[in-house]
């Protein structure tokens, strides 16, 4: 009997391949449990891919463009543009910033008076109202004393203008100049042409706009000063809270000392100006100089300006005295020269000694720099700011340099 398989027993390759597959999908050569595990893991892997796609639907982000020169240049250009726009904004709001600085300066300067009333058991709101009404009374008194003399002098000048013209025509010098250059004829033609009326109307509008702007600025300063004075303590506390806790106590002590020095400077300057105004009024009244009260108030106001204010007030008062008589003008010049020496060496040092301890060179430099930057306002702020800088240098910079 032969061992060779019959055709019925032989298997074709296709049948062998088909018969070697399991109904579950794995072949006979594979390990059935491993195939089962692979089939079971397939849904989990698919689920993990789907979850990653849900978290990052547009794919994994690339590396950051930190070293890209284009991005670096673009960032630098945007920084420069932002700085330029900020400078332009500050320059555009310069007038408003100046008003805010003046109001804050006045509030800090008037705060010692409010605290003095508080020490007398006066509520802070009532103390602020009293001080503020006193400031308004000073401004109102200055206006009432200055406006009537200006109005009287202007009306008197207009009434006597024909007499002045006639005196010019009768003058031999003016007559000779008119014969050579026809000055009076050209003046008459200019008046009759209408150009004078146009320019005069424009000048009046310009003066009116200046007056309205000054009144608006004055009212704005008064209102802001009132608000700053009422919320000065909260403003200080908010500023101190911006400082880290570890340095807050020291910054608070330095800040309170700076505010105290600014208030002392304002109070001392007001006292000195009041003395100057009172003494000037007494002297001008003795000489019977017209408008003595208005001139005294003008001297007191200009005396607030460091370095040049006293000279301006003395020049105006002496000029008006010269119109009265030459003797009165000379007497005024001598009086103001002597008084300025007394004020500089006998009045100012005791007043400022306890409030603002600033060397003379620092006073001059602070007033010059402040006047160059902000004009009269900068000159007023220069001295207390110089005192603040010297305090910071003495209490912060010098001790730090000694520890290094």
| 8 A C-beta contact, residue 81 and residue 356 | no
Q: Which of 161-175, 253-267, 323-337 has the least mean pLDDT?
A: 161-175
pLDDT at 157: 63
What would the mean pLDDT of 231-237 be, rounded to a whole number?
89
Task: Reply yes or no on whether the pLDDT at 231 is more than 60.
Answer: yes
What would the mean pLDDT of 179-195 be, rounded to a whole number?
63
Task: Reply yes or no on whether the pLDDT at 109 is more than 70.
Answer: yes
Locate 4 and state its tokens.
């060779």
Band (30; pLDDT cuts 50, 70, 90): very low
Residues ≥6 apart with Cβ < 8 Å to 292 = 281, 284, 285
pLDDT at 81: 92
Greater confidence (164 vs 31) lies with 164
Residues ≥6 apart with Cβ < 8 Å to 278 = 296
Three-state secondary structure call for residue 190: helix
pLDDT at 24: 44
| 8 A C-beta contact, residue 102 and residue 221 | yes
Band (206; pLDDT cuts 50, 70, 90): low
Name, of 64-73, 191-200, 274-283, 301-310, the range with top average pLDDT.
274-283
d(CA 26, CA 35): 7
Locate 397 and state its tokens.
């910079």
Query: What's the whole-number average pLDDT of the chain?
Result: 76
DSSP summary character for residue 68: -
Band (130; pLDDT cuts 50, 70, 90): very high
Name, of 41-45, 162-166, 170-174, 193-197, the range with top average pLDDT.
170-174
What would the mean pLDDT of 86-104 be, rounded to a whole number?
84
What would the mean pLDDT of 248-276 be, rounded to a whole number?
86
pLDDT at 289: 86
> Beta partners for 27?
21
d(CA 56, CA 97): 50
What would the mean pLDDT of 84-101 be, rounded to a whole number?
85
| DSSP assignments along 83-122, one per residue | HHHHHHHHHHTHHHHHHHHHHHHHHHHHHHHHHHHHTTT-
pLDDT at 260: 84
Three-state secondary structure call for residue 27: strand
Q: Which of 2-11, 52-61, 205-214, 266-275 has the least mean pLDDT?
A: 2-11
| 8 A C-beta contact, residue 284 and residue 321 | yes
Q: Which of 86-95, 153-162, 371-380 has the least mean pLDDT?
A: 153-162
Greater confidence (83 vs 385) lies with 83
Task: Reply yes or no on whether the pLDDT at 137 is more than 80.
Answer: yes
**238-258 confidence digits (pLDDT tens):** 989 999 998 899 899 988 888
Band (377; pLDDT cuts 50, 70, 90): confident
Q: Which of 8-17, 151-160, 192-201 has the least mean pLDDT?
A: 8-17
**51-64 confidence digits (pLDDT tens):** 555 566 777 776 76
pLDDT at 45: 45
**310-353 confidence digits (pLDDT tens):** 889 999 899 888 888 888 889 999 999 999 999 888 888 777 76
Band (286; pLDDT cuts 50, 70, 90): very high
Helix or strand (DSSP H, E) at 250 = helix 245-287
What would the mean pLDDT of 23-43 be, rounded to a whole number?
47
């Amino acid at each position: 009997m032969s061992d060779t398989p019959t055709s019925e027993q032989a298997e074709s390759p296709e049948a062998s391949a088909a018969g070697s597959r399991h109904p579950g999908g794995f072949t006979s050569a594979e390990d059935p449990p491993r195939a089962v595990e692979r089939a079971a893991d397939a849904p989990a892997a698919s689920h993990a891919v789907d979850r990653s796609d849900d978290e990052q639907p547009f794919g994994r982000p690339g590396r950051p463009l930190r070293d890209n020169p284009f991005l670096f240049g673009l960032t630098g250009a945007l920084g420069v543009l932002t700085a330029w726009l900020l400078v332009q904004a500050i320059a555009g709001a310069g007038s408003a910033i100046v008003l805010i600085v003046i109001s804050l300066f006045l509030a800090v300067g008037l705060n010692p008076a409010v605290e003095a009333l508080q020490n007398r058991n006066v509520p802070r709101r009532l103390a602020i109202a009293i001080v503020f009404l006193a400031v308004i009374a000073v401004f109102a008194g200055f206006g009432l004393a200055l406006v009537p003399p200006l109005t009287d002098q202007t009306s008197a000048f207009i009434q006597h203008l024909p007499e002045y013209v006639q005196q010019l025509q009768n003058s031999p010098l003016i007559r000779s100049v008119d014969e050579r250059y026809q000055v009076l004829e050209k003046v008459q033609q200019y008046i009759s042409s209408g150009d004078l009326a146009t320019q005069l109307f424009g000048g009046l509008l310009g003066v009116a706009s200046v007056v309205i702007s000054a009144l608006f600025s004055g009212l704005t300063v008064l209102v802001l000063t009132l608000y700053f004075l009422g919320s000065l303590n909260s403003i200080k506390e908010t500023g101190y809270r911006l400082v880290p806790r570890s340095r807050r106590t020291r910054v608070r002590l330095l800040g309170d000392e700076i505010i105290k020095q600014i208030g002392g400077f304002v109070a001392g300057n007001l006292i000195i100006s009041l003395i100057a105004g009172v003494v000037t009024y007494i002297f001008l009244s003795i000489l019977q100089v017209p408008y003595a009260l208005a001139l005294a108030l003008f001297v007191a106001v200009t005396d607030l300006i460091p370095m040049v204010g006293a000279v301006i007030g003395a020049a105006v008062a002496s000029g008006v005295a010269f119109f009265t008589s030459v003797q009165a003008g000379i007497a005024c010049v001598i009086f103001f020269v002597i008084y300025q020496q007394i004020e500089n060496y006998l009045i100012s040092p005791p007043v400022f000694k306890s409030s603002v301890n600033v060397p003379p060179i620092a006073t001059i430099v602070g007033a010059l720099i402040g006047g160059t930057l902000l004009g009269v306002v900068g000159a007023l702020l220069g001295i207390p700011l110089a005192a603040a800088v010297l305090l910071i240098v003495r209490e912060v910079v010098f001790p730090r340099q000694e520890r290094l």
